[in-house]
């Protein structure tokens, strides 16, 4: 008879298998796509499990992001996959010099879901991409909901979104708005869009730079800012919708001086090969960001005079069209204004404008 006592074996730490499985699943997918993955030593893990280099055609791009992995069904709470958060977690994600991507692994279905924790922590609001719901940032929130699937089918979108965020948050990202090259300026506008849906400040910066833009970057800038208004012909989706807190903050800055109005309208009038003042055109988007200011009539009246002084007659006529649309009595008001700017008297387009107003009462803007 064997009276030997069975030795006490060392047990695995609770959650170890799920955590290890999650890290292996993430690493396997990222490396299969050619990314370079370095695992953080467990003794140095204070919120980052992996460091990842983004590659393109087997070359390092210089883009790096960190990954925090959670694995196991314990992170499925009330029907939602989540990453736990504490005030110190929020601060770490916010302050990290590389974006921290949170990934949750579902061992039962072998699925990965992800969220940009750094973007989430830095945002003024969070928008649920599956709906039109939003919530304001609060470091007391104890969970981060993780919705986006990461697999072979969605990998390209994942990398595009992470790379866009990296570019938009680089030290020179917004300096691109001031480039002499229009394509570079367009990248700057895209940076504003990438961050502006969650934080009004990039949109506010774009608003102040907008009158200096020309070419396609101007079109892009106007289009981006129009998303912060009640533009009637944007095909709204959860991926382009602006939440109320961001919208309201941006709209406070959509107040234009007469000089800015002239610069914007003149630049749009000079554009070629774009859809102009018609539904769906850049003119409609420009009107959406112009007409929102409370004193728009007064600003337009002065802008007509400034345009004439600067000999930008096409802009002056377009501003006249905008002006008459807002006033109560277009026929009377436009004649009063024309008396103050006799240089427009006899202009072919102005004569047509007056005739249509006398006949129809008003001229549509687009």
In the structure, what pLDDT confidence band is assigned to residue 273 with cuts at 50, 70 and 90?
confident
C-alpha to C-alpha distance for 213 and 263, rounded to whole angstroms: 9
Q: What is the pLDDT of residues 64-81, one digit of tens each?
A: 999 999 999 999 999 999
Mean pLDDT of 247-251: 96
Residue 167 has pLDDT above 60, yes or no: yes
* Percent residues over pLDDT 70 in the chain: 93
Q: What is the pLDDT of residues 187-196, one digit of tens each?
A: 999 999 999 9
Q: What is the pLDDT of residues 217-228, one digit of tens each?
A: 999 999 999 999
- Give, in degrees to the nearest 5, the angle at Cα 41 between 38 and 43: 160
Judge whether 258 and 302 are in contact, CB under 8 Å: yes
126 forms beta bridges with 135
What is the per-residue pLDDT for 13? 47
Residue 16 has pLDDT above 90, yes or no: no
* Percent residues over pLDDT 90 in the chain: 80
Domains in the chain, start-ordered, CATH in brackets?
Answer: 16-154 (3.40.1350.10), 199-360 (no CATH)
Per the structure block, which two tokens stand in for 124?
């003024």
Residue 12 has pLDDT above 50, yes or no: no
Q: What is the pLDDT of residues 26-68, one digit of tens each?
A: 999 999 999 999 998 764 556 799 999 999 988 999 999 999 9
Which of 33-47, 90-104, 335-349: highest mean pLDDT? 90-104
Strand-strand pairing, 59-71 and 100-106: parallel
3-state secondary structure of 30: helix
What is the per-residue pLDDT for 10? 44
Longest dimension (CA), the chain: 120
In the structure, what pLDDT confidence band is assigned to residue 346 with cuts at 50, 70 and 90?
confident
Mean pLDDT of 320-337: 96
Judge whether 221 and 263 are in contact, CB under 8 Å: no
User: Around Cβ 253, how many Cβ atoms within 10 Å?
Assistant: 17
């Amino acid at each position: 008879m064997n009276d030997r006592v069975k030795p006490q074996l060392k047990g695995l730490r609770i959650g170890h298998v799920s955590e290890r499985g999650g890290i292996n699943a993430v690493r396997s997918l990222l490396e299969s796509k050619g990314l370079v993955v370095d695992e953080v030593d467990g003794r140095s893990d204070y919120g980052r499990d992996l460091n990842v280099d983004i590659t393109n055609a087997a070359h390092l791009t210089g883009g790096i992001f960190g990954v925090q992995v959670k694995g196991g069904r314990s992170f499925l709470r009330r029907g939602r996959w989540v990453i736990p958060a504490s005030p110190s977690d929020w601060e770490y994600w916010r302050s990290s010099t590389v974006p921290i991507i949170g990934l949750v692994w579902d061992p039962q279905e072998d699925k990965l879901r992800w969220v940009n924790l750094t973007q989430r922590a830095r945002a003024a609001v969070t928008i649920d991409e599956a709906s039109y719901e939003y919530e304001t940032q609060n470091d007391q929130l104890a969970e981060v909901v993780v919705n986006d699937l990461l697999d072979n089918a969605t990998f390209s979108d994942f990398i595009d979104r992470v790379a866009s965020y990296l570019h938009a948050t680089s030290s020179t990202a917004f300096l691109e708005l001031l480039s002499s090259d229009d394509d570079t300026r367009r990248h700057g506008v895209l940076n504003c869009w990438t961050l502006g849906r969650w934080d009004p400040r990039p949109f506010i910066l774009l608003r102040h730079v907008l009158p200096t833009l020309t070419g396609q970057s101007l079109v892009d800038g106007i289009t981006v800012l129009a998303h912060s208004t009640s533009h009637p012909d944007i095909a709204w989706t959860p991926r382009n919708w602006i939440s109320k807190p961001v919208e309201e903050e941006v709209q406070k800055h959509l107040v234009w001086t007469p000089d800015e109005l002239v610069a914007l309208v003149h630049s749009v009038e000079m554009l070629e090969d774009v859809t102009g003042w018609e539904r769906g055109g850049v003119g409609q988007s420009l009107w959406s960001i112009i007409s929102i200011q409370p004193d728009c009539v007064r600003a337009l009246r002065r802008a007509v005079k400034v345009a004439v002084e600067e000999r930008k007659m096409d802009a002056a006529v377009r501003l006249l069209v905008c002006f008459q649309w807002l006033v109560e009595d277009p026929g009377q008001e436009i004649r009063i204004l024309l008396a103050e700017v006799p240089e427009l008297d006899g202009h072919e387009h102005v004569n047509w404008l007056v005739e249509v107003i006398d006949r129809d009462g008003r001229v549509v803007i687009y």
